[in-house]
A and B are shown apart, each in its own frame.
Chain A
């Protein structure tokens, strides 16, 4: 594994590590860490740092839906152009081109189920290239980005053992 990948793996797991901590963990000078991270931002390898949040534990009311879209690829531009038209909407949190029974996997967030359903009905479904949509509401999130939600945080080990 080269140094760039080592830094990325650390940050992917916890982007709150300081440059100093990363330098200590990888036995390299802090300046090298700073330069490598700056370069990776520059090249668009690192896009942004963000927190993984369990919104269920907050007061915020919102729903997530995963939409399966079957679409007609655009002449000369394939699926990219269609995806671009879809990901421009702020309600759309992710868009993937998929193999298998449908073409685009789209994640949408909204305040209520009705809001999401209307978004699909009014914005996505009427698009000329969209052949069909299938909306699946997320009922419960168990694991995301390798992190299990609602896992007991308590350390169950005996506090001191030799």
Chain B
């Protein structure tokens, strides 16, 4: 998923645009020239601020929204041009979960999970067996007869996930599925989604405004801004080398990229005359993430570094670290060259007197 569409993609957008009639005869473009391919079995996270167009993009995959230009295909079938029974068949192969769960209050857990099967005309005995399987699969044993109002948020989303899986879709769409949940519940729901992705080989397309969600489960990601994809690729690569300012600002929220205020306030862009410290962002990627590079820097070159902020975490299965350090500006270039030589990424952020 590098922005080019591929023939074998589970979901592909080719030059997709969506325009609405705006006030005073103007055209409002919710999406412009979006090209993106999601490989089978991938978990692709689309991140963007509200109003960036991510929701419109997601809804095109099951035809809840139609593109005004371009083509959206799911498993090779053109969704934008399908209608009636053809579209309904495509939809049965695409499950969807929602931020506010969208469960029927008048149906029990089992009744909600059974709904897509009833709609598809599955015989009643098959529905019973399938619902029982799904309840066990999402960890809701013993709650089959409860109504949604009697469940916690996390349990409701599990019902939503079971319901989305009922017709054995090949694609799962997640519309901010964890945004209404507390952090702990978010983790358990994300883990369930990752398990399902692994066990069933399901392709997952999710939209979110939380970088942590992308970091925790997405194998690939795309950043959307003003209706355009500004950056896309494997999550790890984007975390290691973000190029677009929007991506960087999202990353600032989940990695240790934010400078402490007392330093940020004193920082200058150009190196001042006289003694100063150079502030460097060091990104530890892959196997180097666990190497004690800063102590090697001190012992091998005799350059002392000051750690200002930092974090080491996991992006997908890989360790990933970001450190903000300062070193004597006179030896900054030397330190950076040493770190780069050992496979780390560095970037000068500024200077502090």
A and B bind: no
